[in-house]
Amino acid sequence: GEYSHRVDLKGGDEMTQLAEEFNELTGRLQTTEEVRRRFVSDASHELKTPLASIRLLTDSILQAEHMDDATAREFLGDIGEEAERLTRITEKLLTLTRLDTAPPVERTAVDVKRVVEKVEHMLAPLARAVEVSLVCDLEEGAWVWATQDDLYQIAFNLMENAVKYNLPGGMVRVTLQGQGDAVVLCVEDTGVGIPEEDLPKIFDRFYRVDKARSRAAGGTGLGLSIVRDTARQHRGTVTVRRREPAGTCFAVTFPRCREKGGEQP
Ligand code: ADP
């Protein structure tokens, strides 16, 4: 590969150590390079699928001997949906690229409670439509040094998933708590759950447990990677566990920023 340089030095202890460190670093660069390649290849594949559908749908309209208006409109509607899907994927890819490369912008002390309330408001119609009750129990005084939009994205992705991968009559409970020097946001649902063996993989880009269900819900398999990368940028961590007897529980932990206008922690 591109990083195949190895140094074999014999002799002094310091030189040996230097050689070992160099080789270890080279190995890591190679892994990063592989991850990058894999990402580009996965992304291309994800973009190809809707493009192929659009191609097929346009061909069937163009090649039909006769097509009534209703059928043509239906096909055009499908083309529109595939185009929307492409938009969602590219937007998320851009977000991930930005998280990878750009330095974080405009951090301020953000009141996480306000952010979660906005998400709750946004998701209320969806929750009602699928008969899932969305309950929030949010503590005052949970401030985080953050980019407001990024926090919104984290809360939105987790809460939307909790509603999307739920069942009629199910529940989503969101709690926000200050715990010492940390702020913990928990999103717990009574939904379809994630098999134990899939748990370590769900933060990977494009990974879905149930492809059909994700697709039907307009998913891209990128939401949780964005959550993880964004949390990391804010020196936060994300954990996931199965909930008994059913469902899933995600927790995001951030360093706490004591008060409004407080200093960067
Ligand atoms: P998607 O766009 O497919 O929702 P995500 O990255 O947000 O992608 O999530 C990855 C996969 O993890 C989903 O496709 C789904 O299979 C699973 N998943 C995420 N959140 C939940 C949840 N709350 N309950 C059950 N499964 C979930």
pLDDT digits (tens, 9 = 90+) for 120-138: 999 999 999 999 999 999 9
- The most confident of 10-14, 139-143, 153-157, by mean pLDDT: 153-157
pLDDT of residue 43: 92
Mean pLDDT, range 89-115, rounded to an integer: 90
Mean pLDDT, range 176-204, rounded to an integer: 96
Does ligand 1 have an atom closer than 6 angstroms to the CB of 240? no
pLDDT of residue 17: 86
What are the residues whose beta carbons fall under 8 Å from the beta carbon of 54, sequence distance 6 or more?
79, 82, 83
Looking up tokens 């922690």 gives 265
Candidate from 36-40, 67-71, 259-263 with smallest mean pLDDT: 259-263
Average per-residue pLDDT for the chain = 91
Task: Inform me whether the pLDDT recorded for 262 exceeds 80.
Answer: no
Which residue among 214, 243, 249 is best mutated to probe the pocket of ligand 1, counting the most ligand atoms within 8 A of its Cβ? Answer: 214
Does ligand 1 have an atom closer than 6 angstroms to the CB of 192? yes
- Residue 9: pLDDT band (50, 70, 90) is low
pLDDT of residue 264: 59
pLDDT digits (tens, 9 = 90+) for 225-242: 999 999 999 999 999 999
Does ligand 1 have an atom closer than 6 angstroms to the CB of 208? yes
pLDDT digits (tens, 9 = 90+) for 23-64: 888 888 888 888 888 889 999 999 999 999 999 999 999 999
| Residue-wise DSSP of 124-160 | HHHHHHTT-EEEEEE-TT-EEEE-HHHHHHHHHHHHH
- Gap between the Cα atoms of 94 and 110, Å rounded: 24
| Residue-wise DSSP of 11-46 | SSHHHHHHHHHHHHHHHHHHHHHHHHHHHHHHHHHH
- Gap between the Cα atoms of 243 and 247, Å rounded: 5
Shortest-distance Cα residue to atom 19 of ligand 1:
161
From its phi and psi, is residue 36 left (phi > 0), alpha (psi between -120 and 50) or beta? alpha
What are the structure tokens assigned to 209, written together?
């447990």
Task: Inform me whether the pLDDT recorded for 215 exceeds 80.
Answer: yes
- What number does the ligand 1 atom closest to the CA of 218 have? 2
Alpha-carbon separation of residue 186 from 30, 46, 106, 143, 176 (angstroms): 36, 30, 25, 15, 6
Task: Inform me whether the pLDDT recorded for 1 exceeds 50.
Answer: no
- Gap between the Cα atoms of 99 and 16, Å rounded: 36
- Residue 140: pLDDT band (50, 70, 90) is very high
pLDDT of residue 10: 66
- Gap between the Cα atoms of 135 and 117, Å rounded: 11
pLDDT of residue 2: 53
ipTM: 0.99
- Residue 253: pLDDT band (50, 70, 90) is very high
